[in-house]
Amino acid sequence: MRIFDGEKLNIAALGNLVPQLHLHHVVRAQDDPAWPGPVWGHSPGIPYLPGPLAERLQILRAEFGVDPVDRAKP
């Protein structure tokens, strides 16, 4: 919760269409539109814009010590 602004972290193992285990980590805040109910099916998803997405990825990579992947290399 150090790098996200929220009061609660929900972790769910949902994945009917994906054949391997994957987990969803959802940071929740009391002012989010679905509070206190589940987020699934409540509101349509809003994609990140390119700038905020790049910023979020940079923060996450720094926090977890992950170098960016250069997908242009073979």
Q: Phi and psi for 26 in degrees, rounded to 5?
A: -120, 110
Q: What is the rounded distance in angstroms from the CA atom of residue 56 to the CA atom of residue 18? A: 25
Given this model, what pLDDT does residue 54 score?
A: 92
pLDDT confidence of residue 71: 57
Mean pLDDT, contiguous 10-residue spans, the chain (74 residues): 85 80 89 90 89 90 81 54
Per DSSP (E only), the strands in 1-74 are 8-12, 24-28
pLDDT of residue 51: 93
Indicate the domain borders of the chain: 8-64
Query: What's the pTM?
Result: 0.65
Rounded to 5 degrees, what are φ and ψ at 58?
-60, -45
DSSP 18: -
pLDDT of residue 46: 86
Q: Which CATH superfamily is domain 8-64 in?
A: HIT-like (3.30.428.10)
